[in-house]
């Protein structure tokens, strides 16, 4: 799923040319992305300077973030169950040769990369993904109701619903 990879790329720390590269990749999908929230996110981010993008990213997703982008944390907090979940994810990331780039295995970016290439993702992940994204979104909306990352969480939530539909039809 190319759209999941695009959303994973949008969760990277801002760098020069990032938004233009994402627009180019979206245009190559010829409307197949079907996700207005993602293009709205790009439009809002594009209107910011690079330093403003960096500050927004850091405030939203990094260093005691407004919306911690960790799927397991959103569901279980700092518990043993999250540790088990991360161990499973870590194994899946290694098997699928996904570089965590210094992140924990339950970070949303490597999870989206994993979901984009896995033909049979961990059922435990599919079960909690939508709930964790809603939790991230709700946490952010309480503090910054106009934060552009709300649109990105909406886009990821829409994409995750299609994963759940695919998973339930495969059963």
User: Cα–Cα distance between 43 and 78 in angstroms, integer?
Assistant: 35
User: Cα–Cα distance between 170 and 166 in angstroms, integer?
Assistant: 6
Average pLDDT over residues 146-160: 92
Q: Is the dihedral of CA 12, 18, 23, 26 positive or negative?
A: negative
- In percent, the amount of the chain with pLDDT more than 90 equals 75
Per the structure, how many domains does the chain have?
A: 1
DSSP 139: H
Cβ-based neighbours of 91, under 8 Å, separated by 6 or more: none
Banded pLDDT at 162 (limits 50, 70, 90): confident
Residue 104 is part of which domain span? 2-170
- Find tokens 């759209």 and name the residue: 3
Banded pLDDT at 30 (limits 50, 70, 90): low
Average pLDDT over residues 126-155: 95
- Find tokens 């059963």 and name the residue: 171
What is the three-class DSSP state of 30? coil
Tell me the whole-structure pTM to 2 decimals. 0.90
What pLDDT shows up at residue 166? 53
User: Cα–Cα distance between 35 and 3 in angstroms, integer?
Assistant: 9
> Closest Cα to residue 156, out of 3, 18, 28, 27?
3
- DSSP for 51-73? HHHHHHHHHHHSSS-SS--BHHH
Residue range 94-109, pLDDT digits in tens: 999 999 999 999 999 9
């Amino acid at each position: 799923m190319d759209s999941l990879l695009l959303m994973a790329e949008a969760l990277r720390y801002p760098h020069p040319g990032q938004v233009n590269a994402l627009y180019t990749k979206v245009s190559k999908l010829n409307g197949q992305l079907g996700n207005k929230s993602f293009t709205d996110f790009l439009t809002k981010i594009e209107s910011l300077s690079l330093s403003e993008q960096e500050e927004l990213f850091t405030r939203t997703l990094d260093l005691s973030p407004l919306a911690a982008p960790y799927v397991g944390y959103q569901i279980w907090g700092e518990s043993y169950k999250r540790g088990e979940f991360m161990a499973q994810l870590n194994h899946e990331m290694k098997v699928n040769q996904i570089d965590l780039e210094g992140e924990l295995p339950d970070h949303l970016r490597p999870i989206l990369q994993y979901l984009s290439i896995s033909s049979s993702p961990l059922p435990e992940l599919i079960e909690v993904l939508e709930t964790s994204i809603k939790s991230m979104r709700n946490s952010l909306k309480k503090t910054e109701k106009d934060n552009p990352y709300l649109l990105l969480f909406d886009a990821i939530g829409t994409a995750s619903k299609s994963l759940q539909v695919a998973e339930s039809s495969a059963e």
